[in-house]
Amino acid sequence: MINEIEVIKTKNSKINEVDFSNLKFGSVFSDHMLECDFKDGKWQAPKVVPYAPISLDPAAKIFHYGQSVFEGMKAYKDADGNVLLFRPIDNVKRLNISSKRLAIPEIPENYFMDGLKTLLEVDEAWIPTQDGSSLYIRPFVFASGAGFHASPANEYKFIIATAPSGAYFSGEVRVLIEEKYSRSANGGVGYAKAGGNYAGQFYPTQLAIEKGYQQVIWTDDNTHEYIEEAGAMNIFVRINDTLITGPTSDRILDGITRKSIIELAESENINVEVRPLKVAEVVEAAKNGSLKEMFGAGTAAVISPISGFGYKGDDFELPKLEDTYASFLKKRITDIQTNKVEDPFGWRLQVK
């Protein structure tokens, strides 16, 4: 434990200006944030401060060489007002895996967890209680040290900011299977939550939006024959009664929601296959009627059903099923997250 985390409270809370019954995702921000600086070769003591703009030197290396990684988490309140997190240690570990790949100093686990718990205690009133809502948590690290030399920075800043949020996506989405652009490559940083990974997705996604789709299904960088991710999420495909998702690799993020879905589905005796999945297999399944579901999986949306997809100029619709794996698994996960059911996996952590 850190002996004590300094807390500097805001003098002007914004909470009374917020309509908690009508929250968009990630557009309203809580009163405080956690801030921690790396300098003189070590991480300094974290502190909770009022949410405010950051002042940086124009030569800060984040602007020039993109040393930036982040995580996505949520905090919930159950019916008794307990504050809950979902698999937070996995987020700490993945943030450090990402940091290591981008030559960013790793955050001590207790700095992250003690700092986050303190922040949630200070801003507990910002955690919404409406169904489908949560306090979205964004931990991130970036290079604050200045210099034009192409090398790692000597100073970094770690921040945790939070945003009371409603649903990330509403309804089903239509996707376009990508044939030209790639999200990541072998030996690259696709497995890390690096900011640049997402910047590189925006242009191909915009092209898909102009064609009437909401997201892109990413394929492998070499042949574009294998399905890898759905937009900024992992992807699952149900053929007959088997749930299929690609294996993690240099190119595919080791999603925490992805891991949870696999473990939960297996515990419910749903057949799960983690293997390379060819686009041709999905197209053939759509044509012969064995393709039952496709959905994205990630922290923000939990599970986002896909209603149809486009490929090589053709569009394919997925069947409208009454009982889907997507709805069943999403309910099971969110019920665990919000303490509505027992947690046999030990995923839920009570903060207060």
Helix (H, G, I), strand (E, B) or coil at 330: helix
In a domain, residue 1? The reply is no
pLDDT at residue 169 in the model: 67
pLDDT at 136 (0 to 100):
97
Q: What is the radius of gyration, based on Cα positions, of the chain?
A: 21
The pLDDT of residue 170: 66
Distance CA 224, CA 339 (A): 41
Give me the numbers of helices (H) and strands (E) for the chain, helices first please: 7, 19
Q: 286-309, pLDDT tens digit by residue?
A: 999 999 999 999 999 899 999 999
Confirm if 219 and 228 have CB atoms less than 8 A apart: yes
Q: Give the domain CATH number at 188.
A: 3.20.10.10
Q: Is residue 344 part of a domain?
A: no
Q: Are residues 49 and 121 in the same domain?
A: yes
pLDDT of residue 63: 98
Dihedral pair phi/psi, residue 48, rounded to 5°: -100, 130
Rounded Cα distance, 308 and 287, in Å: 12
**Listed residues 165, 200, 215: the one ending a domain:** 165
pLDDT of residue 168: 76
pLDDT under 70 in the chain at which residues? 1-3, 169-170
201 in the same domain as 136: no
- Which of 165, 186, 217 terminates a domain? The answer is 165
The tally of domains found in the chain comes to 2
Residue-wise pLDDT tens digits, 71-110: 999 999 999 999 999 999 999 999 999 999 999 999 999 9
Note the pLDDT of residue 277: 98
CA 48, CA 34: separation in Å to the nearest integer? 4
Summarize pLDDT for 87-97 with one digit per residue, the tens: 999 999 999 99
- What's the domain range around 146? 6-165
Q: 5 and 118 in contact (C-beta within 8 Å)?
A: yes
Here the tokens at position 3 are 């002996």
What's the pLDDT at 2? 59
- The beta-strand segments (E) located in the chain are 6-7, 32-39, 42-43, 47-50, 68-70, 73-77, 83-86, 134-143, 156-165, 173-177, 215-219, 227-230, 233-239, 242-245, 271-274, 291-298, 302-311, 314-317, 348-350
